[in-house]
Amino acid sequence: MKKSNPLRKIFLLALTAIIICSYKEETKWTCLLDKNLSHWDNYLSFRHQIGYNGQAPKDKDGKLIPPIGLNKTGYNVFTVKEEGNEPVLKISGEIYGCLITKEEYSNYHLSLKVRWGDKKWDPRKKLLKDSGILYHSVGQPGAEYWRTWMQSQEFQIMEGHMGDYWSQANSAIDIKAFIPEGMMNSVADENQPFVPFGKDGESGFCLRSANYENGPGEWNTVELICFNGNSLHLVNGHVVMILRNSRSVVDGKTLPMIKGKIQLQSEAAEVYYKDIKIQTLESFPTEYAKYFQ
């Protein structure tokens, strides 16, 4: 009888443990994209025009045009196709709106891939292609300037601006950034102190620290990590913004804003998303905790 090699047994046991741990780590992710968009509702507001000033639009007779609404069929703004045996979400951008997760999330790591299509619509035909991830989304759609999205924090998805921050409605947050000055936009920087942005700050907008977007037509991996009101914006593996103390300011009262739905914007530009996945966190990932020390 052939004798077994104890070193070989130890090696196989160690290899098995590594495989099992890797599998467990991988299965923590929940996929949020399928052909039926079963994890999402959709909302459409208006076909926006040049000159829209933040008020609900009116028809030629001066009557208010109502938003299209929630889960209306027949518009094909949000569609899913198979590409390389995986679902790919196409957002046409033709009508302002969003996909909205059916569930609320807090303390999570969201990861997805994004690339641009070719088409643009009014009012962005001569502007950069635009979309966005809106997180900690609460309340009803139509709360912000464009009368389309819920109150939320925005991870900007825009040509040359992936990872920027926008406040939506009454949201506010602190960002490690250079202080705003005059007409110049503030820029995120991990070596700067935290500066307030949004409802109780000097500005509701902050530029990402640097541009890490891939070339035209290429997929980009964007990640959002949120834990107890702190968050990170990552683009292709690079941390481009450090944010903390997510909150809303309503009637002078400050309330924590650390849980909510996730929205993907339709904002007058054709854009594609795939590999949308999320996992719950029990603590801030060790490799990123340093940004908040």
Lowest mean pLDDT among 52-56, 125-129, 136-140, 245-249: 52-56
**pLDDT at 243 > cutoff 50:** yes
Determine whether 198 is exposed, middle or buried from the number of CB atoms within 10 Å of its CB (0-12, 13-18, 19+). Answer: buried
Reported in sequence order, the residue ranges of the chain that DSSP labels E, i.e. its strands, are 30-31, 40-44, 69-70, 78-83, 86-91, 97-101, 108-120, 130-138, 151-158, 165-168, 171-176, 194-198, 205-206, 220-227, 230-235, 238-250, 253-256, 261-266, 269-280
Q: What is the pLDDT of residue 174?
A: 97
The CATH architecture one would assign to domain 28-292 is Sandwich (2.60)
Please tell me the distance from the alpha carbon of residue 265 to that of residue 96, in angstroms, as a whole number. Answer: 8
**pLDDT at 15 > cutoff 70:** no
Q: What is the pLDDT of residue 13?
A: 42
* Averaged confidence pLDDT in the chain: 91
- Of residues 67 and 18, more confidently modeled: 67
* Averaged pLDDT for residues 78-82: 97
Confidence class for position 50, pLDDT limits 50, 70, 90: confident
Q: What is the pLDDT of residue 12?
A: 45
Confidence class for position 6, pLDDT limits 50, 70, 90: low
Question: Domain segments of the chain: what residues?
Answer: 28-292
Dmax over Cα atoms in the chain, in whole Å? 95
Please tell me the distance from the alpha carbon of residue 270 to that of residue 100, in angstroms, as a whole number. Answer: 18
Lowest mean pLDDT among 62-66, 91-95, 140-144, 283-287: 62-66
User: Coil, strand or helix: which one is 215?
Assistant: coil
Q: What is the pLDDT of residue 22?
A: 44
**pLDDT at 17 > cutoff 50:** no
Contact indicator for 201, 172 with CB cutoff of 8 Å: yes
Tokens (6 digits) for 25:
């780590």
Contact indicator for 270, 127 with CB cutoff of 8 Å: no
Q: Which residue has the tokens 């820029």?
A: 187
**pLDDT at 285 > cutoff 60:** yes
